[in-house]
Amino acid sequence: MFPKVLISAPTANAKNYCFHAWIENVMNFTYPNFEVRLFDNSIDSGKNAQYLNAEYKKLFNDNKFIAIHSKTDSLSSVIERMCVSHNLCRENTLNGGFEYLLHLETDVFPESDIIESLIYHNKEMIGAVYDRDNGKYRTSMLQKHIWSSPLNVTAFNFETGEELFAIDGTVKPYASIGLGCALIHKSVLQKISFRFIKNQNGHPDKYFSEDCFRNNIKIYADTSKYCRHDNQAWGIYGLDFK
């Protein structure tokens, strides 16, 4: 019996530039037991969620794809809207009878066997590697701890080029792997929800990894799995993280 997996993530109309390619990639996944639920936090009274359902729901059998408006139009902070959407991913995993959440951002493109490959390692949280940022600042979304104490957990990105020594095809623990392509067992989500701190620029993935550390949950990366990340700079859309 294949464990039931929910593929889920926040999305918004700002990601529509690559959404068709993303959904085509997901439809090629070889794992036989998954559903897709996306939580749209566009400030548009649900119009983008309606558009995604009209365009893509018909491509899946048995209603296994749905985009749901996160109802965050009244929230001015992008980070807060994303946090609400992250927690809807969590709640739908726990309430929908899913064994795992594959948190897959809607601009990240893993290989077709990503789900079974990550499940095989039998970890509470494990993900694939992908790049972040742009130009000379582009680097892998892998972080290492540089300091930890009961009240403070600090992790830094690898320096550009330094990650070449870390990505060797093995499975190993990291301080953070982001949430671009992360397989999370339901037992982790039962202990930890997504959060942010008002008036700070830290995103929910930062605090999620810190909370995993505090709960003695190791975060692993399968460094043999490298995803394409078709990210665009947030500044293109005039977004304000504050």
75 backbone dihedrals φ, ψ, rounded to 5°: -95, 125
3-class DSSP assignment, residue 20: helix
> Tens digits of per-residue pLDDT, 144-184?
755 555 555 666 676 666 666 778 899 999 989 999 999 99
186 pLDDT above the threshold of 70: yes
Nearest to 20 by CA among 147, 127, 106, 111: 106
Question: How far apart are alpha carbons 56 and 19 in whole angstroms?
Answer: 10
pLDDT at 5: 98
pLDDT at 198: 86
Q: Is the pTM of this model over 0.85?
A: yes
Question: How far apart are alpha carbons 194 and 11 in whole angstroms?
Answer: 16
C-beta separation of 121 from 220 below 8 A: yes
Instruction: Please tell us whether the domain made up of 5-232 is placed in CATH 3.30.470.20.
Output: no
pLDDT at 226: 94
> Tens digits of per-residue pLDDT, 73-118?
999 899 999 999 999 999 999 999 999 999 999 999 999 999 999 9
**In this structure, which amino acid lies at residue 141?**
M
In this prediction, residue 240 has a pLDDT band, given cuts at 50, 70 and 90, of: very low
Question: How far apart are alpha carbons 181 and 35 in whole angstroms?
Answer: 15
Residue tagged 């709960």 (tokens): 215
138 pLDDT above the threshold of 70: no
For 57-117, the DSSP string reads GGGSGGG-EEEEE---TT---HHHHHHHHHHHHHHHHHHTT-SEEEEE-TTEE--TTHHHH
Domain boundaries along the sequence of the chain: 5-232
pLDDT at 132: 73
Pairing of strands 100-104, 5-11: parallel
